[in-house]
Chain A
Amino acid sequence: MHPAFSVIFLTTLIGAGQGLFMALVTGQVYSVAQLLEPQDSLSFYAMGSALAMVLLGLGLVAAVFHLGKPSYFFTRAWRGMSQWRTSWLSRELIALPAFMLLVVLYGLAHFAGLTEPLFVIKGVVPVDITLLLGLVGALFSIVLFVCTAMIYASVRFLQEWHSPLTVANFILFGLASGFTLAAAFSAWNGVALVGFFGVWAVIFTVLVAITRGFSMYRNGRIKHKSTLQTAIGVRHTKIKQRSMGFMGGSFNTREFFHGAGEGTVGFIRLFFIIGVFVIPLTLLGAANVLQSAYLPLLAFVAQYVGLLAERWYFFAEAKHPQNLYYQTVG
């Protein structure tokens, strides 16, 4: 498949935004349970939500450029919410704005300081409106992760994507980058949660290294269902295309081929393995020792750039059966 930069930026940006929001809520839940020091509503939770919104907003901008024309965002995209019964893309188009609304409400509630407990569970757990919004938002974040991933995992023709591993990867990549960003955000603000978010970021990064490793292993030895024999229905072991029917390119030759050489693909794979896994784990470990304000930020930047390469590779490794019909220019 041809890696589209709009989709690469969309999925990585909203993934980090969702992960960051879930990190904030996790921090709040821990502090409600009195496992962590409570943080300042305004400077930590409201600002953190604003940061998550920036990422989600940038993701939305990237998504607009995936439409045929950006103007379709205003004139036609609303229809995209209509087919939620059958289309995961439609479900994402509902889940994304819903989640963004919850992030805004969560941020605003913290900004306005609405932290008076509404009720207290068993006399120990005070529940305020921000906690409720945070928990519902976290749920929607998971829903959005699943919708985004299922857009890819549900296309059965792309066998490299058609696997539960795709869903696991999308969720864990988002959480890893989001918690790394939360650690960077805490370090930058001098909040004492760097270690807490850093440990979770390391856990998620290691988990996604395992699931992504499995999916790369699976894709390396995948057996494609369609062959040239089934594509044209001729039973012969030696079939070769001599002409695809035209000399210039077409949508079929542009959309479904990444056009990069094997060396480039291999380099990008190595690049993302180092960028997503090796550098962040090293930097987060070093940050834990050195108490630096910059290292977690560097870890996030490295992981995000690595994730861009990972998403590029994700597209490049998927082989579409239609390519059987477009082998030979002629």
Chain B
Amino acid sequence: MTQLALVIDLNVCVGCHACVTSCKEWNTSGIAGPMVDHRPYDPDPTGTFFNRVQMFEVGEYPNTETVHFPKSCLHCEEPPCVPVCPTGASYKREDNGVVLVDYDKCIGCKYCSWACPYGVRELDEQQKVMKKCTLCIDRITDERLPENERQPACVLACPTNARLYGDVHDPESEVSVTIRENGGYQLMPEWGTKPANHYLPRRKTRIQIFDDELERADNPLKKEAPLPAAEGETLDDVAY
């Protein structure tokens, strides 16, 4: 079975919000109707978004680290939002595992949003139906597009390539390999929702170097000290 998902590399994300704006641009222009903004130029603007980039500060000054944290629907393999829907508007696609809302069936009761611990569903203020990330379903399944464009808008927009997209059920896919090899993890694993989207942790690249690796013990440039050769052959002499 296929389970399409995103892998978001927190080590690479710079928090530029390009994924947020490209998501809004693509999906507000789509077949499912606009993602409405209310009072966009007034003091208290609000609107529907499928994707947000948040920022967290880890540690205490001066030892702090900034984590930019993009958040959208995780397309859980055990989506708790789906079985609670009274109308069947909320569903998970059998063929690719994407969790979707049928806007023509939704009655806007908001119950699914209560049943999502991640807060990734938003009620549209104008259509009054629940909206959420579709993984750009109209894009990724459109066979008229060239294959390299059949990806979510956020993935195509990311300037640092922090967002990877693919089938997490295929063990050899790019996303599966990177989850396996780079420590990919799921959010709030305590609920057993099995999110399909994974996050890659912040990683530090450190090499360990000892002093004798920087300088030969019998370095002839050390004029001041007596040459260790006087004590016989060194290991370096034997080795070369």
A242 interface residue (CB < 8 Å to B): yes
In the complex, the chain B residue whose C-beta lies closest to that of A224 is B190
- Could you say which of A77, A244, A322 contacts B116, with CB atoms under 8 Å apart? A322
With contacts defined as CB atoms under 8 Å apart, how many contacts are there between chain A and chain B in the complex?
Answer: 172
Contact residues in A for B39 (Cβ distance below 8 Å): 248
Grouping DSSP codes into helix (H, G, I), strand (E, B) and loop, the B interface class, with mixed when no group exceeds half, is loop
Chain A's nearest CB lies how many Å from the CB of B20?
Answer: 7
Q: Which of A216-245 contact B (CB under 8 A)?
A: 225-226, 228, 230-234, 236, 238-245
Q: How many angstroms between the C-alpha atoms of A224 and B42 in the bound complex? A: 37
> Which residues of chain A come closer than 8 Å to B119, judged between CB atoms?
252, 256, 320, 322-323, 325-326
A68-B58 contact in complex given A79-B87, A86-B84, A87-B86, C-beta closer than 8 Å: no
Q: With contacts A68-B106, A76-B105, A320-B117 known, what are 15 further pairs, Cβ within 8 A?
A: A67-B109, A90-B86, A226-B117, A230-B187, A230-B189, A230-B190, A233-B201, A238-B58, A243-B54, A245-B53, A246-B52, A250-B49, A256-B119, A320-B114, A323-B119
Per-residue CB proximity of A78-113 to B under 8 Å, as 1/0? 011111001111100100000000000000000000
B122 and A72 contacting across the interface, CB-CB below 8 Å = no
Q: Are A68 and B52 in contact (CB under 8 A)?
A: no
Partner of B109, one of A66, A241, A256: A66
Task: Give Cα distance in the complex from A330 to B57, angstroms.
Answer: 13
On whether the beta carbons of B202 and A234 are closer than 8 Å, the reply is yes
Using a CB–CB cutoff of 8 Å, the interface residues on chain B facing chain A are 17, 20, 39, 44-49, 52-60, 66-67, 69, 71, 80, 83-89, 105-111, 113-119, 121-123, 127-129, 185-191, 199, 201-202
Docked complex Cα distance between A233 and B128 (Å): 33
Measured between beta carbons, the chain B residues less than 8 angstroms from A86 are: 83-84
- Chain A CB count within 10 A is highest, among B58, B83, B111, B128, for B58
Rounded to whole angstroms, the CA-CA distance of A248 and B49 in the bound complex is 12
Asked if B107 contacts A242 (CB within 8 A), the reply is no
B185 / chain A contacts, CB cutoff of 8 Å: 233
Beta-carbon contact of A251 and B122 below 8 Å = yes
Contact partner of B55 (CB less than 8 A), chosen from A236, A242, A248, A323, is A242
Interface residues of A (CB under 8 A from B): 1, 66-69, 72, 76-77, 79-83, 86-90, 93, 151, 154-158, 225-226, 228, 230-234, 236, 238-252, 255-256, 320-323, 325-326, 330
